[in-house]
A and B are shown apart, each in its own frame.
Chain A
Amino acid sequence: MSEAFVTALLELADDHLVLGHRLSEWCGHAPMLEEDLALPNMALDLIGAARGLYARAGEIEGKGRDEDDLAYLRGERAYLNCLLVERENGDFAQTMLRQLYFAAFMEPYWRAAASSDDPVLRGIAAKAVKEVAYHIRHAGEWVVRMGDGTGESARRMAEAVEELHRFTDELFFSSPAAEAAEAAGLLPVRAETRGAWEATIRTVFAEARLGWPAQVWAQQGGRAGAHGEALGHLLAEMQSLHRAHPGAAW
């Protein structure tokens, strides 16, 4: 059991770190100064959650790997994040929609995690649930403004939906490891959050005057380490310095 739980925790941790990393790429390059502050706030929430999750995974694993070993010394095929979070930032519409999709999933997920049998996870969830509730608000308000703003913003927002919606199904997919942890009462069942997620997204889309996208082939593979090409570059950059100095303290 513990091995499956470790894997499932890594899936969650990788989601948070990769998305936090993506958001941090905006710092200093946002459309307005106010967003130069808002985006790092969200990134810091996500990186903070990732650290807690890595630490817990390392602890249960019991091989002495700490948060940095897990974040910096696993390669592309060992990373287990879903495909949505690794997508490149694209424009502001894509960044905000990606954030909304992810937060709208994590909010009910963390709420359900309040009844996990793992006390450490309960602690992480209690903190994170408030953070992602704000992410929904912030990203949601932006999606509304871009969807129902100018002609150009509406076009870009619709394009973002087309680009990213195909990655949302993977959020509800439980890997064998996650299934085992779910069955053991350690993690919430991913599929059960779909109703809440869809309600959030539909509310925002209605206000943003965005159409619900047609069924497309849902992209999956992240939980098995089968990623798109973007993740390799992200990790190459993120891990380069750490890997160049094996064993060094920072």
Chain B
Amino acid sequence: MSSVRIVHEPADKVRDIYTWSKSAKAEVKKILAKYPKDQSRSAVIPLLHLAQREFDGWLPTKLMNLVAETLDMPYIRVYEVATFYTMFNLAPVGKYHVQVCTNCACMIRGSDKILEAVEKLTGAKAGESSADEMFTVSEVECLGACVNAPMMQVNDHYYTDLDAESAKEVLTALKEGKTPKVGSQVKEAS
């Protein structure tokens, strides 16, 4: 188990020290206030999300340890949660994590073409990152936007009602540092 983890953790991508910033500390406090005082373990998923968001978009062991120490939990309890849930990245990801849904509703409405367009534009196949580390591409399970299929999620946001062209436009905009419109990509009828 531990050896597998180390293989996935390229040394040059792991920071020397992980500590919460001042704003993150305030966020931790806010999260802990949601749960009974003796149930701080409930905060482990929110804290792993926070950790991933604060530091590079993935969870090296050292960072999971920070979460464990913050919640006074055994390390293994944090590792088993982090490895169970697919949203926690156990290896480095690109600046933009492009997750293309290929489940039934999206497949029927052409997710093959979306994935193909995404792979072509980023130069990364599903499960890989682009050479410039800008994009990581994943094929994911149903993201629950089936009446707006096909769709993809990039980092926190949904881009729905896609076709190959609009999917490429979204990613090109992100690549150029722009902020594409979140949500439906259907052009408003003029």
A and B interact physically:
no
Residues of B participating in the A interface, judged by any CB pair closer than 8 Å: none
Residues of A participating in the B interface, judged by any CB pair closer than 8 Å: none
